[in-house]
Chain A
């Protein structure tokens, strides 16, 4: 048995998003490792590894199910630490970093993560919190492909719903060679959202809103209304993480958005059935490819600009 054979990829799935883990495993041509995680009746999380991870490359896939972020995070920490004590050689995981990012970053390292693979961090500066390598993958290549396959880029305008996301949106616009617009939120006083002002021209164009996260969808829906008022032919939104909490689905269904395109970084459950406007792009090829490349010590940066076939 060669040295490479001795060091294989072990994919461990958290409870938050088994579908994604399955897809990644399928893509990698391996099986998800035999583990079980559950809660004792006193709600403590218990995690059991059912096969040897000694000297293996362990990748843990955990996302954040809406409303259960802390459960998922705690489970992830326990899984990392369990594999650590079971003498595994290396460890990576994928998670979306929440607000208390600094603390979470420290916790992941405390638990023993050697490498973090994540998709579209809300603020890329969060990478700086970690002293282990962080591969922040982008959903952008998948979005670019979606736009190219479904629209004529000439007819589109890429719109950023707030100034903070302008960079993300301009990057897409540049790649497609299309026009770009920005919605500026006036804040007369703190916590009071004032008017939304559109900077740029969207008349008779397909306006494509681009953002990293759709939570309650309030901003997106308001932005869509502004775009419609300004003469956009149709409005759709491309968002990496479809958290869709609260009554986001109802808000979306009643909005002028023709479609909301999200990736499956967050489990969507029955939301696809409840919202006819919701489309899902599968992100698992990108993540699987990143895992494969990390495992083999190849460059991951190719994935920043190209979506795997």
Chain B
């Protein structure tokens, strides 16, 4: 029982709040957190927080009928309410930090820039081995498949191999795509092929794009919300922020208050040691260059080989073969592959990486990720992919994902790490032990 401490949970992840409270042997703070019928958030803290050390747990996850932005506003309102209620210190605990990825060009799921320069649009005709054209006015689309002939699958089999066999998804009518497996030696039959057009990003949806077209010659300015989110948390009154595996550790620099970035790495490492047979002979792979540091850290500490998939996500010139530049650096033939990354969002990166590993001769593919958001059609994509096992933590609610993916998904519990971090921060002890223990 830790004294003078209040753990307050948002609506985004009640299960995690409960298990953190369990680990600290305290009851969660009583609160009312709903919405008025007008849609404004209603927050009442029913326990006294005067002079207490308050920890507010809210993860950056929207889904299962709740909205990400609602959760974020709720968090700000809760922080502000505790501050007004004379809390001694308010700590925001965000297992998954929202808006931590900051693209400076709008990207679609295939990693291609979303908008072409105005002058280029409409010049080229669509071909099937080009990347999906930007869904914007003036850019040609594929003809609708209204006559019932299965032309798409024929084309898939014939003309989709680019440079090293990694295909770009095929776009159909601007709002759907076919997961292109069953081609190039990947034999997993796709259970989801042609089951309607499920969307991935709003970008794919023409109705969301409207008549948007940047002025010719102007580089579009995409909002970089990370700094804003940090400022807003500061502004609401957070005295301390605890989060886990920030996509960019630099985000810590946006804050004026201390940020403790916990690592999910020890958990992932323990999983590898305990659940992967002959892990010493496996290869740890980073699916993109940005995550190389994360993957090498694990590989080095266990003395396991390392490989890297290099993915060109930032084409300097827009060509229609930009997806051909995905390549594997390292040898994976006849070995177990362990893909390590921080975030699974739409699952595009990780499934493409898995496909490449399979093609290069990997025997079994594990994917270990700290945050499993599974947004858009990620579940279907992972289900249909070459990945044999996906391992994520419960930094966001995983019940639904587990139900859908079944034995393919393993969930690691992070509540002990957060409970321990909260206990140590409360007592003013060092939490660096949490960073490197095994």
Contact = CB atoms under 8 A, between A and B. Distances in A.
B70 interface: yes
A190 to B, nearest CB: 14
A152 interface: no
Contacts of B76: 103, 107
A215 B345 CA distance: 37
Contacts of B61: 42
B10 interface: no
Contacts, number: 170
Interface in B89-104: 98-99, 101
B345 A41 contact: yes
Contact of A70 (B69, B201, B225): B69
A48 interface: yes
A43 B345 CA distance: 11
Interface stretch (B37-45, B259-267, B281-289, B412-420): B37-45
B37 A245 contact: yes
B259 to A, nearest CB: 17
B54 to A, nearest CB: 16
Most B Cβ at <10 Å: residue of A48, A64, A67, A78: A48
Given A42-B376, A215-B38, 20 more contacts: A36-B210, A38-B203, A39-B202, A40-B375, A41-B345, A41-B346, A42-B346, A42-B373, A44-B225, A46-B106, A64-B38, A64-B40, A66-B38, A69-B39, A70-B67, A78-B223, A81-B224, A85-B221, A216-B37, A243-B38
A92 B39 CA distance: 24
Nearest to A77: B228
Interface stretch (A94-102, A162-170, A232-240): A94-102
Contacts of A44: 68, 98-99, 101, 225
A35 interface: yes
A171 interface: no
A103 B218 CA distance: 35
Contacts of B35: 67
A52 B214 CA distance: 10
Contacts of A79: 223
A6 interface: no
B427 to A, nearest CB: 30
A133 interface: no
A38 B208 contact: yes
Contacts of A69: 38-41
A213 B77 CA distance: 22
Contact of B201 (A40, A65, A73, A216): A40
